[in-house]
Structure 1
Amino acid sequence: MLIPILIGLYIIIALLMVVSLLLNGVRPSKTLAWLLAIFTIPVAGALLYILFGRNRRKIKMFSLKNQFNPLDELENAQCHSELSANKQKITSLINNTSKCPVTCLNELELLKDGKNTFESIFEALEEAKEHIHLQYYIFEDGILADKLLEVFERKVAENVTVRLLYDGIGSYSLSKKYLKRLKQIGVETAQFLPFKFGRFLSALNYRNHRKIIVIDNKVGFTGGINISDKYLKGDPALGKWHDTHLRIEGEAVDYLNRVFVGDWYLASENKVDIAAFKVHKAPQKGTSLQIVPSGPDDDFDVMEQAFFSIINSAEKYLYIVNPYIIPNHAILQALITAALSGVDVRILMSSSTDIKLVDWCVRAYYESYLKAGIKIYLYDDGFLHSKVMLCDDEIASIGTANLDNRSLQQNYEAQVFVYDPALCKRMKSDFLKDCEKSTVLTDYEKYKKRPWIKKLAQGFAKLLSPLL
């Protein structure tokens, strides 16, 4: 008697999922795949759909209205008037999808690797007078965490408000002892979508991958670097851990702070009055940039559209540094089209990644790149964790987003698009120097003859690419 009841219950649940797919599905091929999974893999298919299949752009996780207030159109236009026409379209796209306009009253400093980045961060933290906002995907116990604790304790004693937001999965190893100590000294903490049974199915696949620090709404930091001692000591298996970060001072920091405030509200259900923060502007026109936040509940595929537009706008060169390039069909076709159109497309990544399955999946796309004339450079001196895209000496993108489905569709990310020829040329020079120290792959015919066992492993991993 029990078995027929369970079967009937599953059929009802499956039919409800079908209705949800028909109402909220975006891509017909993806909708059909989930329908087949639900009806051909009993129970497991339904669980996989709950974990990975629901359309968060239709079923929003939260809504914080009026989070962003675009600048006056005239001021916005003046900030990017030096860009070519096809690049100006990118700034308009970002403004329309994320409500973050170009700001030009900023000072920007490029920070490379952990030592320089954390020296700059701790120097800025010591100057805090009103508030310190931090959010990280990975926040681990160790030397850096202990040093931050010391700074927080001093600053709280000086009546500085300190708020720390950490991801429930990425920072899962953060000890209860450390969190208890934070609360004891008066630091406000919140965990983004905690790893709890009641929210396991709805939250597991949607992580906050951002790395943000905002100090007094005046100085901000963002990029690829987490709070982890491997940025100081290196990794036993991969060696030195290389990454890229930014220090921003000026009006763009207000937009970075608004990203934090929105995430803080989602994690803690406590609203912070955005209007209470003073907007600090650099004294004169400086670096033009846009803060680009994205998440699974945006109305549009903000990050994917932005990267897609940059790739399509390339006329001379497109250089990419990223450890996890697992492109979807649109991004892959854009890269191939750019290369076949005569654009110098180069991809720089580590010779190996920190996750073997991901490494196989990344390599599964090499054949397509090489066939189109894309040059692949494999960096051997440690692990490159930077997420950088450079285009035509006009746009430099630095931030947290990888070129994979997880970053483009599922994670909360933050990228900075910088419109500054001097910075672009400096970063291009650094890129080319790193390429000289790397192993280059250009021979399509040679790569195609790799051992069949590698092809098999890469083909298997490629099947899982939507989940990686």
Structure 2
Amino acid sequence: MLLYVATALYILIGGFIVIRLLLNGMRPTKTLAWLFAIFTIPVGGIFLYLMLGRNRRKNKLFKLKHTPKVASYIAKAIHQYSPITKKEFEEHHKIISLITKNSYFAPCTGNDVKLLKNGEATFRAIFDALKSAEHFIHLEYYIFEEGKLTTDLFNLFQKKIKEGVTVKILYDGIGSMSLSKKYIRQLQNIGVEIHKFLPIKFGKFLSSINYRNHRKIIVIDGKTAFTGGINVSDKYIKGDTDLGVWYDIHLQLKGPVVQSLQAIFAMDWYMVSKEDSILDTSCFYTYKKENGSTVQIVHSGPDSDFSATQQMYFSMINEAKEYIYITNPYIIPGESILDALKVASMSGVDVRILLSEKSDNVIVKWCIRSYFEGLLQAGVKIYLFPEGFIHSKTIVVDTTISSVGTTNLDIRSFEQNYEVNAVIYDDTFALALKDDFLKDIKNSTQLDFNTFMQRPWSQKLKEGFAKIFSPVL
């Protein structure tokens, strides 16, 4: 009798999920895959769907950005900008309009943008800026990992708090799992305000585990900000035993664009702390400088109406007339980006992708390689960097537009993570990023299509198996 009841209940729950799948309007292939999992994997299929398959964008479980209070705050942040003329950026008006509609923030002029290569240069600049803080320090990181860096940060925070500086830290519940309670208590004892983003709790385990805050943001006094691919971890300074040195790109920003990153931090802080005092203009700084780079911030998450960072990549790829140079550690692009890269290459655009030969995950490694054959066949040039691990997330197009940020070229970043990128409309910066890319590929191995096609069938089998997991990697 108990078996019949359990079976009936399972069918009832499965039927309810089927209805949700149909109403949510997922891609047919994705819907079919989840239906197959639910009805062929007893119990486990339903749990997998609840953890990994639910469409947060449709469910709107987080409605933070739609509240009047947040809408008013965003409007105030936008008013901090220097105006730009449509004529000045006619070439990129489509992507500018796209990002503005998706992420609220229009591009602003009068910014100083500094390209920071790798951990030593990045943390040297970060610590110099932190030492100059007079009012507040806001940090938001996916990985906040104990080591020499966090010890140095603790000592610096202790000094700055005694000077009257407010320090707020937001860290991800999964990415920073290794962060000890002892270190957190030490920070709290000296006056640091610290919160965990989407902590793993028993009652919310299924609804939150798959949605992570992958952003890396520092804002100091509303004057200086940092963002990019580098986390707070010693592996960016001295490497690790498995992959060696981690290579990455970060940005130091000064100017009105800092207000966009401050607004993103404030919304994330409000989301986890419920403290609405962060939603005011006291953290904004008024800029009067007119000359400088034009920068636009794009951010997205599972609660966004659309995948803003994915659409940013798609638009940049489609705008290209001469070349597209991409550095990214995780090339699991999904159908739209994959097709856009192929179409661009087959249309005569020089499309090049740089990533590491090594990987920090064996399944991810073979999943990434499963896309190589199609890309190479379409004429895309793929380069594997042999030393260390490249963690940069950059794209530069036609020496006119570029982007540096936290977004990987994979489905997880596009659909499930909270991400942020800076889009820079500046020829000089784009040229510097292009030159850096060309230097890196000189030390890399270019894949040959014919040679790659002769790889052992065992590798093809690994690629095919790993590709099954592409939606959740």
Q: Which residue of 1 aligns with 2:152?
A: 147
Letter in 1 for 2:326: I
| Residue-by-residue CA offset, 1:127-166 (whole Å, 9 max, x unaligned) | 1111111010000111000110011111111221111000
Matches within 5 A, 1:286-365: 286-365=292-371
Structure 2 CA distance, aligned partners of 1:5 and 1:163?
51
Letter in 1 for 2:199: P
Q: Which residue of 2 aligns with 1:415?
A: 421
Q: Which residue of 1 aligns with 2:460?
A: 455
Q: Tell whether the 8 Å contact from 1:323 to 1:386 is kept in structure 2 after alignment.
A: yes
Q: Which residue of 1 aligns with 2:205?
A: 200
Using the TM superposition, give the Cα deviation of residue 412 of structure 1 relative to its aligned residue in structure 2, in angstroms. 0.2
The counterpart of 2:412, out of the listed 399, 406, 409, is 406
| Residue-by-residue CA offset, 1:323-379 (whole Å, 9 max, x unaligned) | 101110100000000000000000011111111111111111111111011111111
SS at match of 2:252: strand
SS at match of 1:455: helix
Using the TM superposition, give the Cα deviation of residue 418 of structure 1 relative to its aligned residue in structure 2, in angstroms. 0.4
SS at match of 1:140: coil
Q: Tell whether the 8 Å contact from 2:221 to 2:285 is kept in structure 1 after alignment.
A: no
Q: Which residue of 2 aligns with 1:246?
A: 251
Q: Could you tell me the TM-score, scaled by structure 1's length?
A: 0.96
SS at match of 1:427: helix
The counterpart of 2:195, out of the listed 181, 185, 190, is 190
Using the TM superposition, give the Cα deviation of residue 82 of structure 1 relative to its aligned residue in structure 2, in angstroms. 3.9
Residue 163 in structure 1 maps to residue 153 in structure 2: no
Structure 2 CA distance, aligned partners of 1:222 and 1:252?
12
| Residue-by-residue CA offset, 1:387-429 (whole Å, 9 max, x unaligned) | 0001001111100000000001100001000010001111111
Residue 172 in structure 1 maps to residue 142 in structure 2: no
SS at match of 1:144: helix
Using the TM superposition, give the Cα deviation of residue 29 of structure 1 relative to its aligned residue in structure 2, in angstroms. 2.7
SS at match of 1:104: strand
Letter in 2 for 1:353: S
The counterpart of 2:442, out of the listed 436, 441, 444, is 436
| Residue-by-residue CA offset, 1:270-293 (whole Å, 9 max, x unaligned) | 221232323332522211011111
Residue 268 in structure 1 maps to residue 273 in structure 2: yes
Q: Tell whether the 8 Å contact from 1:249 to 1:282 is kept in structure 2 after alignment.
A: no
Structure 2 CA distance, aligned partners of 1:282 and 1:181?
40
Letter in 1 for 2:126: I
Q: Tell whether the 8 Å contact from 1:76 to 1:101 is kept in structure 2 after alignment.
A: no
Q: Tell whether the 8 Å contact from 1:291 to 1:414 is kept in structure 2 after alignment.
A: yes
Using the TM superposition, give the Cα deviation of residue 295 of structure 1 relative to its aligned residue in structure 2, in angstroms. 0.2
Structure 1 segments unaligned to the other structure (5+ residues): none
Structure 2 CA distance, aligned partners of 1:237 and 1:81?
50
SS at match of 1:105: strand
Structure 1 CA distance, aligned partners of 2:83 and 2:365?
41
Using the TM superposition, give the Cα deviation of residue 41 of structure 1 relative to its aligned residue in structure 2, in angstroms. 2.1
Letter in 1 for 2:289: P
Q: Could you tell me the TM-score, scaled by structure 2's length?
A: 0.95
Q: Which residue of 1 aligns with 2:431?
A: 425
Residue 95 in structure 1 maps to residue 81 in structure 2: no
Q: Which residue of 2 aligns with 1:61?
A: 61
Structure 1 CA distance, aligned partners of 2:89 and 2:444?
32
| Residue-by-residue CA offset, 1:241-297 (whole Å, 9 max, x unaligned) | 110000111111111011111111222222212323233325222110111111011
Structure 1 CA distance, aligned partners of 2:166 and 2:221?
10
SS at match of 1:412: strand
SS at match of 2:331: coil
| Residue-by-residue CA offset, 1:145-192 (whole Å, 9 max, x unaligned) | 011001111111122111100000000000111001011011111101
Letter in 1 for 2:362: K
Q: Tell whether the 8 Å contact from 1:406 to 1:467 is kept in structure 2 after alignment.
A: yes
Q: Tell whether the 8 Å contact from 2:262 to 2:283 is kept in structure 1 after alignment.
A: no
Distance 1:224 1:353, change over 3 A: same
SS at match of 1:128: coil
Structure 1 CA distance, aligned partners of 2:127 and 2:78?
31
The counterpart of 1:223, out of the listed 211, 220, 228, is 228
Structure 2 CA distance, aligned partners of 1:77 and 1:214?
24
Structure 2 CA distance, aligned partners of 1:205 and 1:71?
31
Letter in 2 for 1:191: K
Q: Runs of 4+ in structure 1 displaced over 3 angstroms? A: 74-77, 80-84
Using the TM superposition, give the Cα deviation of residue 221 of structure 1 relative to its aligned residue in structure 2, in angstroms. 0.4
Letter in 1 for 2:184: L
Structure 1 CA distance, aligned partners of 2:8 and 2:434?
61
Distance 1:154 1:146, change over 3 A: same
Q: Tell whether the 8 Å contact from 1:322 to 1:349 is kept in structure 2 after alignment.
A: yes
Using the TM superposition, give the Cα deviation of residue 40 of structure 1 relative to its aligned residue in structure 2, in angstroms. 2.6
Residue 3 in structure 1 maps to residue 8 in structure 2: no
Letter in 2 for 1:281: Y
| Residue-by-residue CA offset, 1:441-466 (whole Å, 9 max, x unaligned) | 1x322211100111100111111111
CA RMSD of aligned residues (A): 1.7
Distance 1:373 1:459, change over 3 A: same
Structure 2 CA distance, aligned partners of 1:198 and 1:37?
24
Q: Tell whether the 8 Å contact from 2:82 to 2:110 is kept in structure 1 after alignment.
A: no
Q: Tell whether the 8 Å contact from 1:105 to 1:250 is kept in structure 2 after alignment.
A: yes
Q: Which residue of 1 aligns with 2:469?
A: 464
Q: Tell whether the 8 Å contact from 2:267 to 2:279 is kept in structure 1 after alignment.
A: no
Q: Which residue of 2 aligns with 1:285?
A: 291
SS at match of 2:399: coil
